């Protein structure tokens, strides 16, 4: 579990455990091990003191703060600051390129299929930075559940399906459910073949260093002509669907 932030930093002599997952440990007790359980397990596993840094991101900028907190706990604040600088520079470059595009497609981020949940927390900010307009949620919002009537009103230009905790292969096993769960025939994104299935567990649900790679994937989905290199980079983790649910390369 965790963001694996520490893997970007030199090893430390003190045992430091940074916890936080797709849904942060103290944000969601359903799809993540609770923070209390992590503390209890850590106490049983080691016979020396351990410092637990609980990561609690809800916005894009919180990721940088968490990286800084982990770096400070490891006694590597300078290295952490450099990691943040590099990640922010990559994100800014993508955002600048996306902002130069003439269109901002309306984007529906699907975080769960049955029931349908719309991506919240950092997802609206990622969509905006990638050159799109997020539907339903604002930065920091918890993922809401939408009924069919509300879904019909969305009319998205692009749909990104990245269920929380699911790998790409696991999500592809659920493609049959999309027709029933979504207003499939009526959405412009479906008719245009602009529905993308991505590895949510590896990227979008992970508010750590890979958040920038999530931004790269979104940019490739929203403005494919402008981000051909990024599409090639992430070809193994994204699949494009047509109206008949046939799979195409990213």
pLDDT beneath 70: ranges in the chain: 1-33, 35, 47-49
| Number of structural domains the chain divides into | 2
Q: Are residues 244 and 153 in the same domain?
A: yes
Question: Do residue 85 and residue 121 come from a single domain?
Answer: no
Residue 162 contacts residue 213 (beta carbons within 8 Å): no
pLDDT value at residue 13: 44
Q: Tell me the DSSP string of 126-155.
A: HHHHTT-EE-S--TTPPPPB--HHHHHTT-
The reply to whether 137 and 237 lie within a common domain is yes
Confidence (pLDDT) at 124 = 98
At residue 2, the pLDDT reads 43
Q: What is the pTM of this model?
A: 0.85
The pLDDT, as a whole number, for residue 12 is: 44
Residues 15, 121 share a domain: no
> Residue 228's pLDDT is what?
97
**Residue 215: predicted pLDDT:** 98
* 110 and 215 co-located in one domain: yes
DSSP string, 12-56: -SS-EEEE--SS-TTT-SSSS--HHHHHHHHHHH-SS--EEEE--
């Amino acid at each position: 579990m965790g963001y694996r932030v520490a893997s970007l930093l030199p090893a430390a002599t003190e045992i430091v455990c940074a916890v936080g997952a797709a849904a942060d440990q103290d944000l969601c007790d359903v799809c993540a091990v609770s923070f209390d359980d992590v503390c209890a397990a850590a106490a049983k596993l080691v016979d020396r003191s351990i410092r637990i840094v609980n990561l609690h991101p809800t916005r894009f900028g919180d990721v940088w703060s968490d990286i800084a907190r982990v770096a400070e706990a490891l006694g590597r604040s300078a290295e952490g600051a450099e990691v943040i600088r590099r990640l922010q520079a990559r994100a800014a470059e993508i955002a600048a390129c996306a902002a130069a595009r003439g269109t901002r497609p309306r984007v529906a981020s699907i975080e769960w299929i049955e029931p349908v949940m719309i991506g919240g927390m950092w997802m609206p900010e990622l969509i905006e930075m990638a050159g799109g307009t997020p539907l339903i949620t604002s930065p920091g919002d918890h993922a809401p559940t939408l009924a069919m009537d509300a879904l019909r009103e969305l009319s998205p230009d692009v749909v990104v399906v990245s269920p929380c905790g699911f790998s790409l292969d696991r999500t592809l096993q659920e493609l049959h459910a999309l027709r029933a769960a979504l207003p499939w025939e009526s959405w412009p994104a479906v008719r245009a073949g602009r529905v993308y299935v991505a590895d949510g567990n590896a990227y979008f649900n992970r508010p750590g260093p890979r958040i920038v790679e999530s931004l790269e994937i979104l940019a490739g989905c929203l403005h494919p002509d402008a981000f051909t290199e990024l599409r090639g980079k992430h070809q193994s983790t994204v699949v494009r669907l047509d109206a008949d649910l046939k799979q195409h390369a990213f």
